[in-house]
Amino acid sequence: MIQQKASEDSESHWLAATAAIDWDVPPSAALGTSGRWFEGAALNTCHNAVDRHVLDGRGDALALIYNSAMTSSVEQFTYRDLQQLVATTAGMIKACGVGKGDRAIIYMPMIPQAVVAMLACARIGAIHSVVFGGFAAQELAKRIDDAAPKLVLTASCGLEPGRVVAYKPLVDAALALARTPVRHVIVLQRPQLQAELQPGRDLDWAVSVANARAEPCVSVAATDPLYILYTSGTTGVPKGVVRDNGGHAVALCWTMSAIYGAAAGDIFWAASDIGWVVGHSYIVYAPLLAGCTTVLYEGKPVGTPDAGVTWRVIEQHGVNILFTAPTAIRAIRREDPLASLLAGRDIATLRALFLAGERADPETIAWASAHLNVPVIDHWWQTELGWPALATCLGLGDREARPGSAGRPVPGYRFAVLDDAGQSLEPGAVGDIAIELPLPPGCLPTLWQNESGFRESYLDRHPGYYATGDAGFIDEDGFVHVMSRVDDIINVAGHRLSTGGIEQVLATHPQIAECAVIGAADPLKGQVPVALVVPKRGIETGAEVLADELVALVRREIGPVASFKSAIVVQALPKTRSGKVLRSAMRRIADGEPCPLPPTLDDPETFERVVQALRDAGFPPPKPQSLSEQIA
Ligand code: COA
Ligand code: AMP
């Protein structure tokens, strides 16, 4: 069985998988003794994702379909079109002095040029770092300081429902905040908004690319970084997850057939954003490595214009595999509970719906299964891993799924659930979810210029294992059930946020003495951040005004993506006698879970007052109707 082969003889399993990739220097060993995958081998990821399909005679096959619900437009690019665009964009980037090993930050909306820019960096061996457009200037500045890029690629604006988001002022503000100077900013002017360019530093994309020379693919070491992707850590400092070229290409290409059952020519739609790992892996690299057509969708699942847009896009392009976050399905279901907008749509091409990014509640899976009539598969992974670690592998003939579980380990991953002392727990017992080392190819080898942070964050907690930061259990049949985080990371609409990071921002408000941020259950977004804030003594600002200021502060400092809307003003925070804030008790109250008075509680009256304040603020929110109630 392939599961066993991959775990017991991972060397031959992964060496066999290298055959799907073109190499300049083929690997002679998979992991070997070096501890790095495919050390000594050389390749180019862009060649594998683009050029080789043209060389193989598939130049006229569709590589990319851009479907924008925001501008009501569709553009299609063949592999040959993509090759030409990527080669000249690589020339434009190179002309800015960016070469092998240099970093370029891409801060762009969901437009084809963003994908092209990523591939163009890969083409010349530059390391891209894409920053999600919903992050504010301060967050962009942190990433600029860490990655020290020579170049920032951006667009004049992003398009959100009801508003045009000007990106360039955010880039300007980030560059003013950052300590690291950046030589050039290349700006794609979208018709919806013209950005002002700073002479000498800023360049117009269209002009620059028109004057650029087409660049060939350069050979890079399999162990050279392809990209850095920042993700939330437990503090406000983002962690720069490094992805190497060789392991990434091999693993991602393999997942397309093994997990998704997709082959060259299939239409693959990952409805995410290129700023997240799902976008990197399954909008850009994996579908193109496998010769599929990838769909780049600019819009939301609801409201652009309605909850039927997902079905329309599937029908319009003949999508075979859809990948989205459970939040998107919850949003569609909330707007159109009986899926009436599906009526009359021909979505017969769809073979499966994959969900990831947050816990998929069984109700959401049941609703999607009932209406789509295809396998609905929950699968689990993280930015750090780069590809799914738990899944039902359709391509390997696996069909068994279990509600409440994200699946069994994907070949190459060996899971364990450990107690605090690092002992492996029996089936059914809840503990830390860990993965036995070595991690398979494509997973992070380190954090960008922070090897000690990498060890501290992931390897030190359980020697011999990678600590996922999630808690859960493995059942008798080997299904892994992911239940919660063990740290203060929360998951908002599939976006990973640090409550500690939000607390750090709130604490900068001059009128705040203390604060605690919890992730409260939300029927749409899974979780939302809720702050309990204590004003300094003698502050006379009204609670509502203060709350509004705090909401605006988080939006300004972290960005709208934090979805921070609830700041509850209280006179004191509930604490243990040793002074620890009782965040998990507050979270249970906000979620409507039973929460007896904690035994170590310092002051029961404060506790009761905070419980009341949460209730007054509408927590817990009313439970949404179940599927059976809705149908009734
Ligand atoms: N640039 C600027 N702002 C952005 C942005 C971007 N690229 N992406 C999101 N935002 C803003 C939104 O406009 C919104 O601002 P608002 O508070 O002014 O309304 C805020 O960030 C939160 O955005 P979002 O999380 O998208 O929530 P929403 O309320 O606009 O939409 C859903 C709700 C459920 C439709 C939406 O969250 C969704 O589609 N989720 C799918 C999940 C997903 O793709 N996850 C990716 C990981 S797989
Ligand atoms: P990110 O790195 O942003 O992809 O977030 C990874 C985290 O999201 C994981 O550690 C989990 O906490 C959560 N997550 C992702 N997929 C799932 C899933 N299928 N079920 C439960 N939690 C998930």
pLDDT-based confidence at residue 580 (cuts at 50, 70, 90): confident
Asked if residue 575 lies in contact with residue 603, where contact means CB atoms within 8 angstroms, the answer is: yes
Out of 451, 486, 521, pick the residue that ends a domain: 486
**Greater model confidence, 540 or 54:** 54
Cα 211 to ligand 2 centroid, rounded to whole Å: 43
Q: Which pLDDT score is estimated for 628?
A: 66
Cα 69 to ligand 1 centroid, rounded to whole Å: 14
Number of compact structural domains in the chain: 2
Residue located nearest, by CA, to atom 18 of ligand 1: 560
Best mutation site among 353, 355, 380, 485 for ligand 2 pocket (most ligand atoms within 8 Å of CB)? 380
The CATH number for 525's domain is: 3.30.300.30
pLDDT-based confidence at residue 632 (cuts at 50, 70, 90): low
- Same-domain status, 612 and 499: yes
- Same-domain status, 503 and 463: no
- Same-domain status, 500 and 417: no
**To the nearest 10°, the Cα dihedral for 171, 176, 182, 186?**
30
Report which of 318, 307, 308, 303 is spatially closest to residue 269, judged by C-alpha positions.
Answer: 318
Residue located nearest, by CA, to atom 19 of ligand 1: 560
Whether residue 342 lies inside any domain: the answer is: no
Distances (CA, A) of 378 to 144, 267, 272, 325, 375: 34, 20, 15, 9, 10
Q: Which pLDDT score is estimated for 13?
A: 95
Q: Which residues contact 238 (CB under 8 A, 6 or more apart)?
A: 139, 142, 143, 146, 230, 231, 232
Residue 482 Cβ inside 6 Å of ligand 2? The answer reads yes
Q: Which pLDDT score is estimated for 207?
A: 98
Cα 561 to ligand 1 centroid, rounded to whole Å: 6
pLDDT-based confidence at residue 6 (cuts at 50, 70, 90): low
Residue located nearest, by CA, to atom 23 of ligand 1: 561
Best mutation site among 132, 135, 239, 359 for ligand 2 pocket (most ligand atoms within 8 Å of CB)? 359
Indicate the average pLDDT of the chain. 95
- Same-domain status, 422 and 500: no
Q: Which residues contact 52 (CB under 8 A, 6 or more apart)?
A: 22
Q: Which residues contact 435 (CB under 8 A, 6 or more apart)?
A: 389, 413, 414, 415, 416, 465, 466, 468
Best mutation site among 276, 381, 484, 499 for ligand 2 pocket (most ligand atoms within 8 Å of CB)? 381
Whether residue 389 lies inside any domain: the answer is: no
Whether residue 610 lies inside any domain: the answer is: yes
- Amino acid symbol at 219: S
Alpha helices, H only, 75-222: 79-95, 112-123, 137-147, 168-177, 205-210
Whether residue 350 lies inside any domain: the answer is: no
Whether residue 414 lies inside any domain: the answer is: yes
For residue 547, the surrounding DSSP H or E stretch is helix 543-557
Whether residue 466 lies inside any domain: the answer is: yes
- Same-domain status, 516 and 580: yes
What does the pLDDT look like over 115-159, one tens digit per residue?
Answer: 999 999 999 999 999 999 999 999 999 999 999 999 999 999 999
Q: Among the bound ligands, name the one nearest to the CA of residue 297.
A: 1
Instruction: Say how far apart CA 491 and CA 358 lie, in whole Å.
Output: 6
Question: Looking at the whole model, is its pTM more than 0.85?
Answer: yes
Cα 492 to ligand 1 centroid, rounded to whole Å: 9
Report which of 434, 456, 432 is spatially closest to residue 446, judged by C-alpha positions.
Answer: 456
What does the pLDDT look like over 523-565, one tens digit per residue?
Answer: 999 999 999 999 999 888 899 999 999 999 999 999 999 999 9
Residue 626 has pLDDT above 80, yes or no: no
- Same-domain status, 451 and 524: no
What does the pLDDT look like over 40-49, one tens digit per residue?
Answer: 999 999 999 9
- Same-domain status, 548 and 623: yes
- Same-domain status, 466 and 555: no
Q: Using DSSP bridges, classify how beta strands 431-436 and 415-418 pair: parallel, antiparallel or unpaired.
A: antiparallel
Residue 368 has pLDDT above 70, yes or no: yes
Out of 452, 486, 520, pick the residue that ends a domain: 486
Whether residue 133 lies inside any domain: the answer is: no
The CATH number for 424's domain is: 2.30.38.10
**To the nearest 10°, the Cα dihedral for 391, 119, 110, 282?**
-10
Q: Which residues contact 498 (CB under 8 A, 6 or more apart)?
A: 232, 233, 234, 235, 236, 488, 489, 490
Cα 158 to ligand 2 centroid, rounded to whole Å: 26
Whether residue 267 lies inside any domain: the answer is: no
Residue 272 Cβ inside 6 Å of ligand 2? The answer reads no
- Same-domain status, 516 and 608: yes
Residue 277 Cβ inside 6 Å of ligand 2? The answer reads yes
Which atom from ligand 2 is nearest to the alpha carbon of 469?
10
Q: Which pLDDT score is estimated for 411?
A: 95
Which atom from ligand 1 is nearest to the alpha carbon of 331?
34
- Same-domain status, 526 and 417: no
What does the pLDDT look like over 460-497, one tens digit per residue?
Answer: 999 999 999 999 999 999 999 999 888 889 999 999 99
Residue located nearest, by CA, to atom 3 of ligand 1: 134
What percent of the chain shows pLDDT beyond 90?
A: 90
What does the pLDDT look like over 213-233, one tens digit per residue?
Answer: 999 999 999 999 999 999 987
Residue 344, Ramachandran bin (φ over 0: left; ψ between -120 and 50: alpha; else beta): left
- Same-domain status, 465 and 415: yes
What percent of the chain shows pLDDT beyond 70?
A: 97
Which atom from ligand 1 is nearest to the alpha carbon of 109?
7
Range of the domain at 546: 493-628
Instruction: Say how far apart CA 512 and CA 493 lie, in whole Å.
Output: 28
Cα 400 to ligand 1 centroid, rounded to whole Å: 32
Q: Among the bound ligands, name the one nearest to the CA of residue 277.
A: 2
Q: Picking from 312-316, 317-321, 485-489, which range would have the lowest pLDDT averaged per residue? A: 485-489
Cα 331 to ligand 1 centroid, rounded to whole Å: 11
Out of 463, 486, 509, pick the residue that ends a domain: 486
What does the pLDDT look like over 396-417, one tens digit per residue?
Answer: 999 998 888 999 999 999 999 9
- Same-domain status, 458 and 542: no
What does the pLDDT look like over 177-208, one tens digit per residue?
Answer: 999 999 999 999 999 999 999 999 999 999 99
Instruction: Report the pocket of ligand 1 as residue ranges, CB < 6 Å.
Output: 109, 133-134, 158, 160, 165, 272-273, 276, 278, 300-302, 325, 327-328, 331, 357, 493-494, 524, 560-561, 563
